[in-house]
Structure 1
Amino acid sequence: MNKVIFIMGVSGCGKSTIGTLLAEELSIPFFDGDDFHPKENIKKMASGQPLNDEDRQGWLETLNTLATQQLAKNSCVIVCSALKQTYRDILSLDIKARTKWVFLSGSFNEIFIRANARKDHFMPSELLQSQFDTLEEPQNAFKVDVSLTPEQIIKKIKNKLMNTSEFGLFGLGVMGKSLCRNLANNGFKIAMFNRHVDGVEVDVAKNFKAEHPELSEAAAFDNISAFVNALETPRKIMLMVNAGKTIDYVIEDLLPHLSVGDILIDGGNSNYKKTKERFEYLKSKGIHFIGTGVSGGEEGALKGPSIMPSGDQEAYNNVKPFLEKISAKDQNNLPCCTYVGPEGSGHFIKMVHNGVEYVEMQLLAEVITILEASGHNLDEIANILETWKNTANSYLLEITIDILRTKECNDWLVKKILDKAGNKGTGNWTTIASAELGVPSTLIASALFARYTSFYKEERIQLHANFKSETISGLQLSSTEILEAYQFARIINHYQGFKLIAEASDKFSWNLNLSEIARIWTNGCIIRSTLMEALVEVFKETTNILTNSQLITSIKHYKPSVKKVVSQCVLNDITVSCLGESIQFFNGITTVDSSANIIQAQRDYFGAHTYKRNDDDGVKSHHTIWNKTN
């Protein structure tokens, strides 16, 4: 990755000399910031007047433009006094992650002698004191003592810049390894860490490096101190370890080795509440924390996942070039990575992503069950699903077709898989979050509980014997009707998922952009689909997809099919948890006068909880003594 190296310090510290030598050593272009001062600035300094911030503004912006243009072609060296942090912020605007700072430091007397020795410079040495008064020493710069010889200084700078890694990855599980290869394939110099456990995990990072040629320039460690010290500052470390307490243990292990301004990125499936806690805790230590959802599985992590970072926006700007470069690209070749919002919002939307994923998987499982009950074998079902790609394509549909076509010993492999569905907790968290926020994400709960039910295999066998089902009427369904029922349920699923995100955004003041979230889910992630692509445009107009005219038309068209499919499944004792819930929820959310008035009357009867009335616009609370005999 191209870099701009800013050599900074007060006038007379030797910036131009060091900059010129360094550029020659690295064979990259050199620019002296003084050459870009407007005539008015030079005239003012020559008259003995120091420049003010207004004088410098345009000059600094010019140098930022120069750096940005050069980065498109090559690395470069620019020398500039850059005495204040605000000046450095302007110089590095939009290129912060690709900016390296070298601070040439020395005493006033030492530099005053040097300044007096210069010939034909427009700034008199008398102004040096004003520069020392203005100087705000940078936190994230490589500091070099000007008392060293130029050759020594160049050697130090070169060793620091050339022998450190740009990005660190902590934890080499399946996802961590794929992300390392992805980063290396995209030209980043990385450091990799995996713990050492005698007899269990030994030389994991070194062995992994040896297995893949693209990692030849990567640095491999099993010592935390060496790993952290191998990274350029501010350090950028992505944690790819198990969610939960492990993250906290890793943070505590890293903290003694980190410096103020360093950045930790949690790329695991952490609970969004814990991410907020860790964000605040690390903020008190001067460390930035970015909670980041990553979707795509092993293949996505290698070839380009969907990435959902949140936290401090300025810290994100430091890691943006890395995350955006390794992410998947949408249909317009834009990265499927965006700054989501503050605190734990990135992990929240990843949690909801996984909840939507639970439903999409369950719906396909139900569809296959229905098609089997209709008399089709798995090869025939795969062929039917293949035709659905024209109108309902998705990543999960594609892999399900592959699964149905995979055989072992002339029989379908999926038939040999024990029907106990696992989960890692995110569906559970999504259901809990829905309850806490008062949002009816009923399909996610149904998909979750379907998995829980599947785990009671022994009890299911016993109860099947007690309540053996009998086919009553037989299924009389076309594949088109099943497809339309599937499409209906998928729209309701996406409505509920994005409704939950919208409600959380309002509740926590996150200001989430639903269209942008849908966009980064159009590629690289498990729930990418043609429906998701359509939602990118829908969410530019509304936060409620059931108010979109095209989706209203689709729902009306699909509704008869889902009613027929669910009804016939119920009559034939076929379990369709999510298909059934989709129409039940839809009927509930579109009912003007619900049965909740009965619930309110019951609550008032036994608990005096009061109720509102239709005939006074629900303004007052009322209570009735229902049993007049008491």
Structure 2
Amino acid sequence: MGRNLALNIESRGYTVSVFNRSREKTEEVIAENSGKKLVPYYTVQEFVESLETPRRILLMVKAGAGTDSAIDSLKPYLDKGDIIIDGGNTFFQDTIRRNRELSAEGFNFIGTGVSGGEEGALKGPSIMPGGQKEAYELVAPILKQIAAVAEDGEPCVTYIGADGAGHYVKMVHNGIEYGDMQLIAEAYALLKGGLALSNEELAQTFTEWNEGELSSYLIDITKDIFTKKDDEGKYLVDVILDEAANKGTGKWTSQSSLDLGEPLSLITESVFARYISSLKDQRVAASKVLSGPQAQPAGDKAEFIEKVRRALYLGKIVSYAQGFSQLRAASDEYNWDLNYGEIAKIFRAGCIIRAQFLQKITDAYAQNADIANLLLAPYFKQIADDYQQALRDVVAYAVQNGIPVPTFSAAIAYYDSYRSAVL
């Protein structure tokens, strides 16, 4: 990520000073990019002294103690007003602390969420900076040049808010990403288990879905996964180990929801789904002991595919409704004054959750910036009216036939709970 961000910045006409505590890695980057305006430095002091003031230093290190160590190594050589940008996946409370501590010493600290992976870092990520507004204004020209660009020509970067706001929004973004991926996995399980679709048929189905309201990066790459084969000519999706890892940001999102009293049920179920997937040996053993129903055919093929599509879209809406509701609660708790429409806008390109329907979220907040929950916005309410029966039917079929759909189930449970005047 750090290397590709440096190359992205360099490609915009800047000369970039680079430093890594490993001399070998620094030399490797320079050797692989000869002719680029990357200038290597092999001591922290030389690196810092090479920069124009106010210095703008982008840190890309593993979150945690490594970030504190890197900051401590920089401080002896900084001048008041210099800017440190932390572009790692940092826990927002750590960013709040670092912002407070560095501000007291006269330095600026911008905790910045960066989404898009290594490719996005090189070609244009979605960028979520938070910290001192005046410091952001000094780095905004660079960030706007390296960010992804949406279809309307707007760069996918905006000032998020004070101290830890940027990293908090990135954390919730990752939680939504978890939810998106689990919903897609469950849609696959339903089509495979209920209709016995071939991988070619699954690829065609997802291709068609990607041409409509489900159009998104994750649907786009999923359609390609179905036809990917390994060296032996076997479909990769059929042989890959069904264990999912996690980097902690989904867990942080769920933990924060408990702190704030927010019902983040769908996203939390997606975290739990990863945890239970990691119990592979136990699941294999349990499959030989615990009984369940034998899955029966789901009926008419075209009808069931459409029901799953509708259920997936409504589930996605519920996931985003929960995520943005949590952003509102966090904004109130930490005095961030978040702009939810702007946040949705910077997710439209560059990031993992980029999707066509994010414009609908931006539109909803443009119509009513104070709306309590996206489900109450006219467009999303209409979708819920039209699609909820499909979601109910799909969940009922899954339960009756022993197909686990934790996030689909969480979606309809949340919807019914939220619309209930009495619980």
The alignment's TM-score, normalised by the length of structure 1, stands at: 0.65
Structure 1 residue 216 displacement after superposition: 2.4
Map of 2:61 onto structure 1: 241
Map of 1:400 onto structure 2: 222
Q: Deviations over 1:87-142 (max 9, x none)?
A: xxxxxxxxxxxxxxxxxxxxxxxxxxxxxxxxxxxxxxxxxxxxxxxxxxxxxxxx
Q: After TM superposition, list the pairs within 5 Å mapping 1:364-443 onto structure 2.
A: 364-373=184-193, 374-389=195-210, 390-408=212-230, 409-443=232-266
Matched residues in 2 for 1:351 and 1:453: separation?
22
Maintained 8 Å contact 2:298/2:304: no
Deviates more, 1:538-547 or 1:365-374: 538-547
Map of 2:33 onto structure 1: 212
Matched residues in 2 for 1:379 and 1:180: separation?
40
Map of 1:580 onto structure 2: 409
Match of 1:591, SS state, is coil
Q: Deviations over 1:369-393 (max 9, x none)?
A: 1111111111210110000012210
Percent identity (aligned): 38
Moved over 4 A (4+): none
Matched residues in 2 for 1:473 and 1:257: separation?
69
Structure 1 residue 272 displacement after superposition: 0.7
Matched residues in 1 for 2:117 and 2:137: separation?
25
Q: After TM superposition, list the pairs within 5 Å mapping 1:23-34 onto structure 2.
A: none
Matched residues in 1 for 2:253 and 2:36: separation?
41
Q: After TM superposition, list the pairs within 5 Å mapping 1:118-133 onto structure 2.
A: none
Match of 1:184, SS state, is helix
Q: Please state if 1:324 is matched with 2:130.
A: no
Q: Please state if 1:521 is matched with 2:347.
A: yes
Name the amino acid aligned to 1:347.
H
Maintained 8 Å contact 2:179/2:319: yes
Maintained 8 Å contact 2:14/2:37: no
Matched residues in 2 for 1:266 and 1:298: separation?
16
Map of 1:499 onto structure 2: 325
Match for residue 363 of structure 1 among 176, 183, 187: 183
Q: Please state if 1:533 is matched with 2:359.
A: yes
Match of 1:391, SS state, is coil
Matched residues in 2 for 1:260 and 1:510: separation?
25
Structure ID, larger Rg: 1
Which 5+ residue runs of structure 1 have no aligned equivalent?
1-174, 197-201, 595-630
Match for residue 310 of structure 1 among 130, 134, 137: 130
Q: What is the aligned residue count?
A: 414
The alignment's TM-score, normalised by the length of structure 2, stands at: 0.96
Match for residue 98 of structure 2 among 270, 278, 282: 278
Matched residues in 2 for 1:224 and 1:472: separation?
62
| Superposed CA RMSD | 1.2
Structure 1 residue 472 displacement after superposition: 5.2
Match of 1:405, SS state, is coil
Structure 1 residue 331 displacement after superposition: 2.0
Q: After TM superposition, list the pairs within 5 Å mapping 1:164-183 onto structure 2.
A: 175-183=1-9
Maintained 8 Å contact 1:327/1:335: yes
Q: Deviations over 1:27-60 (max 9, x none)?
A: xxxxxxxxxxxxxxxxxxxxxxxxxxxxxxxxxx
Match of 2:366, SS state, is coil
Name the amino acid aligned to 1:329.
V
Matched residues in 2 for 1:270 and 1:182: separation?
22
Match of 1:392, SS state, is coil
Maintained 8 Å contact 2:83/2:107: yes
Name the amino acid aligned to 1:494.
Y
Q: Please state if 1:458 is matched with 2:278.
A: no
Matched residues in 1 for 2:256 and 2:346: separation?
22
Match of 1:420, SS state, is coil
Structure 1 residue 284 displacement after superposition: 1.5
Map of 1:508 onto structure 2: 334
Maintained 8 Å contact 2:360/2:379: no
Name the amino acid aligned to 1:216.
K
Map of 1:63 onto structure 2: none
Name the amino acid aligned to 2:338.
L
Map of 2:49 onto structure 1: 229
Matched residues in 2 for 1:229 and 1:280: separation?
25
Matched residues in 2 for 1:191 and 1:569: separation?
55
Matched residues in 2 for 1:186 and 1:472: separation?
56
Match of 1:360, SS state, is helix
Structure 1 residue 541 displacement after superposition: 2.1
Maintained 8 Å contact 1:289/1:312: yes
Map of 1:68 onto structure 2: none
Match for residue 354 of structure 1 among 174, 189, 204: 174
Matched residues in 1 for 2:95 and 2:37: separation?
32
Map of 2:310 onto structure 1: 484
Name the amino acid aligned to 1:286.
G
Which 5+ residue runs of structure 2 have no aligned equivalent?
none
Map of 1:550 onto structure 2: 379
Structure number with higher relative contact order (C-alpha < 8 Å, ≥ 6 residues apart): 2
Matched residues in 1 for 2:187 and 2:83: separation?
45
Name the amino acid aligned to 1:444.
I
Maintained 8 Å contact 1:420/1:457: yes
Maintained 8 Å contact 2:156/2:350: yes
Matched residues in 1 for 2:139 and 2:354: separation?
24
Maintained 8 Å contact 2:310/2:391: yes
